[in-house]
Amino acid sequence: MSNIAVIFGGFSNERGISLKSGSNVFHALEKLGHNVIGFDLKKENAHRLVELSESELVFIALHGRFGEDGKIQGYLDSLDIPYTGSEVLSSAICFDKTFTYKILKKHVTFPKGIIVNNGQKMDTLKWDIFPAIVKPSEEGSSIGVTIVDNREQLFQAVRKTLNIYETAIVEKFIRGQELSISVIEKDNELLVLPILEIKPKKRFYDYEAKYTAGMTNFNVPADLEPQTEKLLIEKSKDIFRRMKCRHFARIDGILKDNIFYFLEINTIPGLTDLSDLPQSAKAKGMNFVELIDVIVQEALK
């Protein structure tokens, strides 16, 4: 058995979710017989991360900034501490949707959209497709995502986003099958878990719908034509490889009229009781402890 540290908490907008993910991972590792220590990362104790250098592996259960954006990965690299999940560059690129779009633009279909940078005047914003989605380029858990139905709402949402973030993305709101596709590495091969279909009771899969029990229905495996499912599996593997992800990741998108509209890739998917990845693993016959074991065994190689 190994000495494994679990980093969770952090100081992003997703701290609460990370605490739940980290707690689940911690208890799973204990059940697997590992020697586990938990590290609730806060700004006031960040200097103590160096103490983790005695660990054989760090399981990163941080979501959002400093967790998924490559920063904690870079710090652990500087200490020569192995960790779960994607490496620095992959994490940073996947976290910033604008960079992700640039890399994947010839390989996936995106919803029609535009990028709005801080300082851009609203009267130069040419967009007349409604309803539309406004979202920050660097955020997770649907935080900061707004659906708008007219130009007045659009301007308000973009201004609000740019008051907090450097860049806003405006996209056509596509109503179709919302799919979550989890990819894990197992025995040096990519395994796509049963595809999860998300059916939120709200207008879209926002933060409340994601993390409030009873607010969303899930269908796993999703109701898909066999040929469509096969294409989605191959497409997901291709995205995982092109983005140079490692160990595990989750790809989100909308299927409409047999076209898969890519939305984002998450390099540290949620590991809460309501999260997509554990649900897909369960549908594969893999319980949470077994899922964590697969991730850890790949990371320890």
242 is an active site residue: no
141 is an active site residue: yes
171 is an active site residue: no
14 is an active site residue: yes
CA distance 42 to 276: 26
Q: Which of 9, 10, 12, 14 is catalytic?
A: 14
Residue 247 CB contacts under 8 Å (≥ 6 apart), including other chains? 84, 85, 86, 184, 185, 295, 298, 299
CA distance 292 to 186: 11
Structural contact between residues 216 and 199, judged by C-beta atoms closer than 8 angstroms: yes
Structural contact between residues 170 and 114, judged by C-beta atoms closer than 8 angstroms: yes
Q: Which of 264, 290, 293, 298 is catalytic?
A: 264
Q: Which of 18, 141, 236, 280 is catalytic?
A: 141
Q: Which of 252, 261, 275, 280 is catalytic?
A: 252
Q: Which of 180, 266, 275, 280 is catalytic?
A: 266
270 is an active site residue: yes
CA distance 143 to 13: 8
Q: Which of 180, 206, 270, 280 is catalytic?
A: 270
250 is an active site residue: yes
Q: Which of 211, 246, 253, 276 is catalytic?
A: 211
101 is an active site residue: no
Structural contact between residues 118 and 152, judged by C-beta atoms closer than 8 angstroms: no
225 is an active site residue: no
- As annotated, the active-site residues are 14, 141, 211, 250, 252, 264, 266, 270
